[in-house]
Structure 1
Amino acid sequence: MKNTIIRSALFLFAGMLISCSKTEKTTAVRKNIEDAVFASGYVEKDEEYLISAKISGNIINIPVSEGDQVSKNSLIATIENTIQTEQLKDAEAVYSQSRTNTSGSSPQLLQIRSQMDQAQHQMDQDRINFQRYKELRVKNSVSQLDFEKAQLQYQSSQNSLISLQKNYQDAKNTLELAEKRSAIQVDQQNDVLKDYSIRSPGKGEVLNVYKKSGELVKQGENIVKIGNGNFKLRLYVSEDDIAKIRTGQKVAIRLNTYPNDTFPATIAKILPAFDETEQSYIVEAKFDKLPKAVFSGTQLQANIETAKRKNMLVIPTSYISKGKFVILENSEQRRITTGSKDSEWTEILSGISEKDVLIKPKN
């Protein structure tokens, strides 16, 4: 939507209202015209973000309120976590037991170790016996059959020890794997438990608190809104006007909190994409000088200055009839071509001059 603001006159020419009986008259005058694009919008912080619940549950504590300053990792809310805490305790108990099972005092490993010691002792005896029979067989003091029996016994005790050693290593690997898995389970339970303590990802000011202690919050629901940085103006510009906007253009801002004041600002950024939700393009501006009190979310109206033209011919808008005609002093109805206009003044491109005296139409 286009809005034209017409400011101070460069050349004033006899264009004053003349009261004659009940007929009002005027003539065209020369004024400076400032073309402007209208935009609506609101005030926000440079960085604003919502903190939402990652899990459903009853809120048992919200230690912050609107206006509080928070730092990174500040506690924002706590959700009831009794069941999750018990699950964590169970996981920690399993992990503690698994650590015991992989230690030197593990009953399972101690049992196999004892069997290994016995097998080692038996193999040592069978090796000595085999060596003795081997020497005796060389002297032909024992039969070949007795020698082979001693040899088989020694080989059997060797195989038994190797089997027990393998069993020991397999059992140890299994227990160590169980310990790692239980440690992972503890970490996972801790990560889930963290979701019940909602913290701020960065510093800033609490702008809005949407929930109260004791309320049920669902996963994804917003709990607070945090803002950080300087104030900026978020403006919505129509498709018809966005091509006229440039960074560095001046803006006249009227805040709903200051209905009678206008604040200067400057266009700082033009977002490149069309906003489907707002059905507008979004432009950001910065205050040239901050008002005494600024509040995030304040609604505003803005006029973005797009051009200045000097010494343009204008007449009061109220003297135009049917949008394209004026009535001359001799009662002639003349067609005119208009340019920029607002509720007070309309630019005249052709049809009349400063010498023509106009009569105000009767409503």
Structure 2
Amino acid sequence: MKHWLAGVLLIGLITGCKKKVETIYPQIQAISESVYASGIVKSVNQYQVFPKNAGVIASLKVKEGDFVEKGQILFEIANPSAKLNIENAELSFENASVKSNQERLRDAVIAKDLAYQKLRSDSLLWRRQNALWQQQIGTKVDQEQRELAYHNSQTAFQSAEIRVSELRRQIKFSAEQSAKNVALAKSIASDFAVRAEVSGRIYSFSKEIGEMVAIQNPVAIIGDAKAFILELQIDEDDITRVKIGQKILLTLDSYDKQVFEARVNSIDPLMNEKTRTFTVKAGFIVQPQVLYPNLNVEANIITAERPKVLTIPRNYLVDEQFILDKDGQKRPVKVGLKDFQRVEILSGITAQDAIQKPTL
């Protein structure tokens, strides 16, 4: 009796320990393959504002959150010498201008006119003396003196012409040079007034009046107030599968459980050596109503899609190339696309073949 009871218990124990085998049938459904990416939201034309000169902030014209136009002054850096340099340049320009040198030029022109009149007079006297000498009137000395006076007057007139021309050139050069010095002084001074490079919104402004700024440290961040893009990082192992125009499905921490669509706009060709990633820029297909720069993004870039294919769950695949049939026997299959949950079966089984779930 004892042996009989022991046998019954053993059979029951063995039967109870047998695991229930899970079987399913492959399904015809859509599947897509994707590349994972993470990144941030950025405003269109977003850029960091760097001052061109170091110094102390003398005045602020805007504040964080303000909307600005391209060319609008954001803040000014103290620079007492800039105003003095402009004033000195303007004084030099005024002194060197054509208007201020009219008297000098007029005197030179008068001197040239007088030299011309003397040249005409000496020329006339020389011709008369020559005529008298041909009639044996006067002396050879008189004739030679009139000729010499004529040549001297001719040289004096040419010199006067050269002086007028040279003076005009000098005045023009000095005036233009002084004007450029004024423009240069104003340009240098304008570098102490930092302006917006694009129209948009000030998303960040990190300084106050009296604080120091340096040319290597950004002071503000400005970007478009309404249009935003995505800046995603792609692992170097996946970048060859990413193409411009591919669809992106993404989530934002600020929009819980919502999925948004975007498309790849550009792929930066240079890899970041530190992170071993490439930067991909994308645009929203339908942009969320409220966005801010630097929001975190998690995305899947769809690299391939099949609308109606034979699929099985990925955890039913053995060693990436086999399945277990209803009897638990390994059968080779050829696989295609894979997503996080399912895998495409190209050949090896049909929708009518039951398959087992592998045991761990």
TM (norm. structure 1) is 0.72
State the Cα deviation string for residues 268-303 of structure 1 (Å, max 9, x = none). Answer: 334162432542233333334333421121111113
Q: Conserved in 2, the CA contact under 8 Å of 1:28 and 1:314?
A: no
1:87 aligns with 2:85: yes
Q: 2:271 aligns with which of 264, 275, 289?
A: 275
Deviation at 1:129, TM superposition (A): 4.6
Cα distance in 2 between the residues matched to 1:135 and 1:341: 118
Q: 1:289 aligns with which of 249, 273, 286?
A: 286
User: In the alignment, is residue 58 of structure 1 matched against residue 53 of structure 2?
Assistant: no
Q: Does 2:236 align with 1:255? A: no
2:237 — aligned with what?
A: 240
Find the aligned partners of 2:83 and 2:23 in 1 and give their Cα distance.
Answer: 82
Q: What's the secondary structure of 2:45's corresponding residue?
A: strand
Cα RMSD (Å): 4.2
Question: Corresponding residue for 1:158?
Answer: 154
Are 1:298 and 2:295 matched, yes or no? yes
Query: The residue matched to 1:60 in structure 2 has which SS?
Result: strand
User: 1:145 Cα deviation (Å)?
Assistant: 1.9
Q: Paired residue for 2:313?
A: 314
Task: Work out whether 1:146 is the aligned partner of 2:145.
Answer: no
- 1:261 is paired with a residue whose SS is strand
One-letter code of the match for 2:74?
I
Amino acid at match of 1:282: T
Residue 41 of structure 1: CA displacement? 0.9
Deviation, structure 1 residue 38: 1.6
Deviation at 1:348, TM superposition (A): 11
Identical aligned pairs, as a percentage?
20
Q: 8 Å contact 1:28–1:313 — kept in the other structure?
A: no
| 1:168 and 2:164 aligned | yes
Which protein is richer in helix relative to its size? 2
- Out of 46, 49, 60, the position equivalent to 1:48 is 46
Match of residue 191 from structure 1: 187
TM-aligned CA deviation for residue 246 of structure 1: 4.5
| 2:203 is the alignment partner of 1:207 | yes
The CA distance in 2 between the partners of 1:194 and 1:227, in whole Å, is 22
Q: Is the 8 A contact 2:70 2:196 kept in 1?
A: yes
Q: Which residue of 2 aligns with 1:6?
A: none
Tell me the matched-pair count: 331
Is 2:247–2:264's contact at 8 Å kept on the other side of the alignment?
A: no
Tell me if structure 2 keeps the 8 A contact 1:263–1:287.
Answer: no
User: Distance between the aligned counterparts of 2:84 and 2:357, measured in 1?
Assistant: 91
Moved more, 283-292 or 121-130: 121-130
Is the Cα contact below 8 Å between 2:268 and 2:280 reproduced in 1?
Answer: no
- CA offsets per residue over residues 68-119 of structure 1, 9 Å max, x none? 222222222222232122112111111111115764222xx45544544554
CA offset at residue 133 of structure 1? 4.0
Structure 1, 74-83 or 249-258: larger mean CA deviation = 249-258
In the alignment, structure 2 segments of 5+ residues that lack a partner are 1-14
Amino acid aligned to 1:314: P
The answer to whether the 8 A contact 1:39-1:237 is kept is: yes
- Higher mean displacement: 222-231 or 176-185: 222-231
Tell which deviates more after alignment, 272-281 or 83-92. Answer: 272-281
- CA gap of 1:356–1:96, structure 2 versus 1, over 3 A, is closer
Within a 5 Å distance, the mapping from 1:329-340 to structure 2 comes to: none
CA–CA separation in structure 2 for the residues paired with 1:341 and 1:128: 110
List runs of 5+ in structure 1 lacking aligned partners: 1-19, 327-331
Q: 3-state DSSP class of the match of 1:38?
A: strand
- One-letter amino acid matched to 1:99: S
Q: Give the Å deviation of 1:255.
A: 1.3
Q: Structure 1, residues 203-225: CA drift from partner, whole Å, max 9, x if none?
A: 22223324333232233543332
